[in-house]
Chains A and B, each alone.
Chain A
């Protein structure tokens, strides 16, 4: 972690503070805060390139210069520490003139290729020049040209656009601690380069250099020319690819996830996310979906039964389940669930199982051989568990079965003659005979599966990107994710479906109608989540009662 950004820690009351004046407003900040961060706390953004919260500050871009009374020259606000009684003017004539000049220098060589640049729309050079730069350039010299360079991995380098902030170099040196990038040459011939032919190939965190590049010098090959930044909707979410629970944004357009970007949460992932998670988003865009609730087993299940809708389908399910339970033919319930189901989904499933007389809830989860730790931020790693909510499943009473590639372990379920419920697990390794012997077999899933052939009801659910909910990460931190995509057809969140079934079976009048109600009800009846509330989760999540310590914390 960077030494320049001490965190204001609420439970340490003894933090020393300083009070200074920024643009005529008094600001009180903890001692050691930089002027740039202090200004940010009152809503003034001082332009900056080389400074990044998660990195060291070399003060080399010369763009964050501000006037400090008493100082003979402009001071770089990213390294100047706030002092008691300091008077800072970020918008003084001197500072503005200076910054305008610096920006003009940047544009001497920066190409005006915004129309074909992927950064366009989220480019700091665009923003700063628009706000503070000159209307027209005065340079008549030809610009220097480097062309583009494949850095390996997912990273493409456009040398012409580089503003030499060296954030990428510092990221590789300080955070990933695998120094593969450096600045070569001098003066205006300076350019970022790799040492060897393999470039960034084989690194696990290099996607972050694309995120932190303030201009379009480093761009993602995956996203190259795909969409314009201003067209994307950003939805706060949680990365589903491992149990770390990195905070991410789903960048969506046309009801498709276009890319994933990390979202700052210093308790979980800082500013970063791994390449493993970053590139696993296509499954959210899968077009083969279940869209209508279907009842009837095998060939009896025709598209015409779809028109009966949810009410008929669920009434059917509840009637059959109740008559089985009353006749004592249900036996123990066997439930298989996906470790990517949200806490609310799992809670509703457990509730249904309990209402039907109890049984076993199992899940299967892929598991990698090693963790991939980000050396400069050791509490962040690509965890071994390659699913978002394995920890939540365990807390809510599910048991892991099967192998490390998420197969097998369902022999007892496949031939069970009681009630079988499948939630989200696609059962890729199971044949169409799965559940043939079951007295009642419910299949809840987003995608069609061969193993659902003998299901008495196929109920379409949303994927995590299409619903609200919470995941519990490896540490025991419960974090919210929000809905980024529209669900197809009549697909509904599993907590809504199973919540209604559970309410009907247990004779309750009301079932949860929002993820908030579902979570609060779940927290109210589950010891592991006791004391948590939906509102209390906030933007950084909240820890369950028994947490798992992480390295680096």
Chain B
């Protein structure tokens, strides 16, 4: 769908009007006023259908045993353009690499989704969710547990059947 340009010709001299045009405008606004069809969405009751590509609050995927899938590879803090991910890697009891600290500052985040794109183990995702209002600013730094608790669906950044858009 391309950009549509509508060229409006300036009316010829003497052929313009103010009052008639104003009355036409009044009629138009009156028609809209009595028209019962309204475009407003009554938000809390009516929920928006988010696109599957909506990039919102992050989700950390977990293994079946509840461990985070993250291996603390450091790619998401590296790629993050807003520098909102803090990661401290370490070794768990089984000698596996895992994130000791994994924090995302949702205030700083620009929701570009590059963390999800870069993640080699499909652990961190942006999600189809946007309602993250809080009463204090420090609640916007989501730690690992909070990211794992998020239960909204994660974003589909690409069509799984056509991952390369071919």
Contacts and interface: CB of A to CB of B under 8 A. Distances in A.
A binds B: yes
B95 interface: yes
Nearest to A120: B73
B73 A230 contact: no
Q: Which of B89, B91, B96 has the most CB of A within 10 A?
A: B89
B45 to A, nearest CB: 44
Contact of B89 (A114, A148, A226, A230): A226
Contact of A225 (B72, B75, B121): B72
B11 to A, nearest CB: 61
A2 B96 CA distance: 38
A379 to B, nearest CB: 38
A115 B89 contact: no
Interface string B92-136: 000111000000000000000000000011000000000000000
A114 B97 CA distance: 12
Contacts of A120: 73
A395 to B, nearest CB: 44
Interface string B52-83: 00000000000000000001111100100000
A116 B78 contact: no
Given A120-B73, A225-B97, A226-B89, A115 B78 contact: no
Contacts of B90: 225
Nearest to B118: A115
Interface string A210-235: 00000000000000111110110000
Name the interface size band of chain A.
Answer: 10 to 19
Contacts of A115: 71, 73, 75, 120-121
B73 A116 contact: yes
A116 B73 CA distance: 5
A228 B78 contact: yes
Contacts of A225: 72, 89-91, 97
A12 to B, nearest CB: 47
Interface in A117-175: 120, 148
A225 B97 CA distance: 7
A231 B95 CA distance: 23
A228 B73 CA distance: 8
Contact of A224 (B71, B74, B91): B91
Given A116-B97, A225-B89, A225-B90, A231 B74 contact: yes
Contacts of B120: 114-115
Given A225-B97, A228-B78, A230-B78, A116 B91 contact: no
A192 to B, nearest CB: 19
A316 B95 CA distance: 57
Nearest to A156: B95
A224 B75 CA distance: 17
Q: Which of A116, A148, A224, A227 has the most CB of B within 10 A?
A: A116
B73 A148 contact: no
A165 to B, nearest CB: 24
Given A116-B72, A116-B97, A231-B78, 20 more contacts: A114-B73, A114-B120, A115-B71, A115-B73, A115-B120, A115-B121, A148-B95, A224-B91, A225-B72, A225-B89, A225-B90, A225-B91, A225-B97, A226-B89, A227-B89, A228-B73, A228-B74, A228-B78, A230-B78, A231-B74
20 contacts: A114-B73, A114-B120, A115-B71, A115-B73, A115-B121, A116-B72, A116-B96, A116-B97, A120-B73, A148-B95, A225-B72, A225-B89, A225-B90, A225-B97, A226-B89, A227-B74, A227-B89, A228-B73, A228-B74, A231-B74
Interface of B: 71-75, 78, 89-91, 95-97, 120-121
Q: Which 5 A-B pairs have the closest CB atoms?
A: A115-B73, A228-B74, A116-B97, A115-B120, A225-B89
